[in-house]
Amino acid sequence: MSEPRQTIRVRDIMRTDFRMIDGSATVKEALVMMKTNKTSVLVVKKRHEFDDYGLLTSGDIARHVLARDKAPDRVNVYEVMTCPVIQVNPEMDIRHCSRLFATYNLVRAPVVHDGTVIGMVSPNALVLDGMYKNL
Q: What is the CATH number of domain 10-134?
A: 3.10.580.10
- pLDDT band with cut points at 50, 70 and 90 for residue 135: low
How high does pLDDT run on average in the chain?
92
> What H or E segment, with its residue span, contains residue 99?
helix 94-104
**Tens-place pLDDT, residues 101-120:** 999 999 899 999 999 999 99
Q: Is 67 exposed, middle or buried (0-12, 13-18, 19+ CB in 10 A)?
A: exposed
Q: Where are the domains of the chain?
A: 10-134
Alpha carbon distance 55, 45 (integer Å): 9
CB contact at 8 A, 107 and 126? no
Judged against a pLDDT cut of 70, whether residue 20 lies above it is answered with yes
For the whole model, what pTM was predicted?
Answer: 0.88
Strand order in the sheet with 20-21: 20-21, 41-44, 54-57
Share of the chain above pLDDT 70, in %: 93
Q: Residue 40: which of 59, 15, 63, 64 has the closest Cα?
A: 59
CB contact at 8 A, 130 and 122? no
CB contact at 8 A, 119 and 14? yes
How much is the pLDDT for 94?
A: 94
